[in-house]
A and B are shown apart, each in its own frame.
Chain A
Amino acid sequence: MLLRNVFTKTVRDLRWPTFWVSLGCGVMTAYFAILFPTYSKLFDLNAMLEKMGPAVKLLGASLGDASTLIGFLHIELFSMILPAAMVAFAAGMASGFTAGEESRGTIDVLLSYPVSRSRVVLEKWLAIVLACIVAAVVLWAFALTGAAISASALPPDRLGAALVMLVLLGLAFADIALAISAFSGNRGAAIGVTVALMVAMYLIDALSSIVDGLGTIRPLSLFRYYMGGDPLRNGLNLGDAAVLAAVVAVFLAIAVVAFERRDLAA
């Protein structure tokens, strides 16, 4: 029964968004995996990338080798579309966790039952963790199925490593949104600031190799840790994963403390 506690209730609230995001990302990835042999026969993708020069780097295709499926997925999906989708999903949902209950006014009733404020934040957070993992697992299964259909090589472990980083990136931004909304009670502000931050960080990372000077602030961008170690080629980089995990933990703690201290909206 999904009405047992705040965690399961939030899982219930997230079930359809999670279903659609998982399905959308999964089908898209499978589509690219199935069509990869056709693409690579029709075009010499690496040469095309070369010709486009620095411009393509804006799209995040910094390290790609388009002659393999895994490189192709990196360029087409993991550099921009998937992180954008994951962040939008995770942060979009998390921004409404406490702020949504406040603006709808349901928080008054919820907190009049024996559930502490920190518990509300933590259980809801656990639900978004589960949702992101589900989306990643579905994506993984769809990608491998697609690769099997097109008989292309796709190492499951390295795909898995990239998905771990994708989940961590999504959760990092989700926690930033969660912290802002827990602090301000304002979902719009949480979404706005988080998206602006994501775009800025994305641009810093994407442009740092072509614009002088950005290199020094590149460590401030979470995208640097997300694909910086190229997990699709090298497997999981524990250092990068640890940085993202630390960001997740810190902003979760900020969210808990901020929500604990505030006057809640009537």
Chain B
Amino acid sequence: MTAAIETRNLTKRYGHSRGIIEVDLVVETGQIFGFLGPNGAGKSTLIRLLLDLIRPTSGGASVLGLDVRRDRLAIDRRTSYVPGELSLYSDLTGRQLLTYLGNLQGQVDAAYRESLIERLELDPTKRIKSLSRGNKQKVGLVAAFMIRPELLILDEATAGLDPFIQLEFEHLCEEARDEGRTVFISSHQLPEVEHLCDRVGIIREGRLLAVETIAGLKERALRRIEIDFIGAVDAEAFANLPGVSDLIVRDGTLRCTVMGSVDALIKAAAHFEVRNIRSVDTSLEEIFMAYYGSGEAADKSAAGEASHAAA
């Protein structure tokens, strides 16, 4: 099966500053894919490359198996896009805009369009210039969903939506997925998309760091582990265990941070008499931060450890 999105060594430089660097990303069809990264990471750059709005410095990309440069119109017919900084023709009403975009597309299921307008509670008679950011966003979403695209590319599409509409939007994404279509949604806030996405890609400073399922992301989670021992323990026995860092052994208690599997740590601990094990699961946000700021999450846990030790 052809991937919904495939980039090969995709690189975009703006003069000397980076946009994205050698991104190899594959998004399979039939899923909701979250594209996560802090502001300035390169999310919009990658998306605008997929739309052929900007051209790569090197590398290439295909969408639905079609080359983004060569097969532009074929891709446009089967995909839709809501840009991050959404601007629409402000002198048109919502309905006029949807009419125009529908005409550009060719064929639009009018009944489905009306149902979308209703579900997102859009007032299509208002001029776009009079709409709030959230309401403007709704026009963009109706325009994107109304053509029932095989791939939806949404750049920070949830920003500015109120909670009820956000929920309706998530239903729309899930419906699309359940029909075997693909949703690619970027965000700089994990909590906004964490429960929605099947998989996420994490980009930071222009480089794709990881592509994971949410479950996998949790699996690779940083865990804070504390083990209380009965009797003396040899700190040396825990040194250099795979995935273990920030190790402190004091007063019969071991504290450390584990990335990924805790197996090696448990096996090492089994050589001693264990009274209790506590595992403090980090939140997904913390995991995310671990990918983001290579230093940041580690610093945080180190700081926690230090205060612990002082107490």
Interface residues of A (CB under 8 A from B): 1, 3-6, 9, 104-116, 263-264, 266
A3-B100, A112-B80, A114-B104 known; A105-B87 Cβ under 8 A: yes
Beta-carbon nearest neighbor of B144 in chain A: A112
Cβ–Cβ < 8 Å partners of B88 in chain A: 106, 109
Asked whether, in the complex, the Cβ of B48 is within 8 Å of the Cβ of A108, the reply is yes
The distance from the CB of A176 to the nearest CB of chain B, in whole angstroms, is 25
Provide the bound-state CA to CA distance between A1 and B55, in Å. Answer: 35
Bound Cα distance A110, B77 (Å): 12
Contact check: which of B54, B73, B80, B90 meets A264 at CB < 8 Å?
B54
Q: Is B187 located at the chain interface by the 8 A CB criterion?
A: no
Give the interface of B toward A (CB within 8 A): 44, 48, 51-55, 72-73, 76-77, 79-81, 83, 85-90, 92, 96, 99-101, 103-106, 140, 143
Question: Is B104 a contact of A115 with CB atoms below 8 Å?
Answer: yes
Out of B55, B83, B87, B103, name the residue touching A263 (CB < 8 Å): B55
Residues of A within 8 A of B52 (CB): 111
B83 to chain A, nearest CB (A): 4
Is the Cβ of B53 less than 8 Å from the Cβ of A264? yes
B104 touches A5 (CB 8 A): yes
B140's nearest neighbour on chain A, judged by CB, is A109
Across-interface contacts of A9 in B (CB, < 8 A): 100
Given the interface contacts A114-B73, A114-B76, does A109 sit within 8 Å of B54 by beta carbon?
Answer: no
Q: Known pairs A108-B48, A109-B101, A109-B143; list 4 more (Cβ under 8 Å).
A: A108-B81, A109-B83, A110-B104, A264-B54
Does B85 lie within 8 Å of A109, measured CB to CB? no
Bound Cα distance from A116 to B96, whole angstroms: 22
Main secondary structure of the interface of A (DSSP, over half): loop
Are the C-beta atoms of B103 and A5 separated by less than 8 Å? yes
CB distance from B80 to the nearest CB of A (A): 6
Q: Are B87 and A106 in contact (CB under 8 A)?
A: yes
Instruction: Please name all residues of chain B whose beta carbon is closer than 8 Å to the beta carbon of A105 when the two chains form the complex.
Output: 83, 85-87
A104/B76 in contact, CB under 8 A: no
A194–B80 CA distance with the chains assembled, in angstroms: 37
How far, in angstroms, from A4 to B86 measured CA to CA in the complex?
Answer: 22
Contact A266 B87 (CB under 8 A): no
Bound form: Cα–Cα A104–B88 in Å: 8
24 residue pairs bridging A and B, Cβ less than 8 Å apart: A3-B92, A3-B96, A4-B103, A5-B103, A5-B104, A104-B90, A105-B83, A105-B87, A106-B87, A106-B88, A108-B53, A109-B88, A111-B51, A111-B53, A111-B76, A112-B51, A113-B104, A114-B77, A114-B104, A114-B105, A114-B106, A263-B54, A264-B53, A266-B53
- Chain A residues within an 8 Å CB radius of B81: 108-109, 112
User: In the complex, which residues of chain A have a beta carbon less than 8 angstroms from the beta carbon of B87?
Assistant: 104-106, 108-109
Beta-carbon nearest neighbor of A261 in chain B: B55
Least CB distance from A123 to B in Å reads 11
Cβ contact within 8 Å between B85 and A112: no
Contact A106 B101 (CB under 8 A): no
Nearest Cβ distance between residue B95 and chain A, in whole angstroms?
10
Query: What A residues does B77 contact at CB under 8 A?
Result: 114
Whether B72 and A113, one on each chain, are in contact in the complex, defined by CB atoms closer than 8 angstroms, is no
* A5, A6, A108, A110: most-surrounded residue (chain B CB, <10 A): A108
How far in angstroms is the closest Cβ of chain A from B139? 10
Q: How far is the CA of A263 from the CA of B44 in the complex (A)?
A: 13
A109 touches B76 (CB 8 A): no
**Set of chain B residues within 8 Å of A115, measured between Cβ atoms:** 73, 76, 104
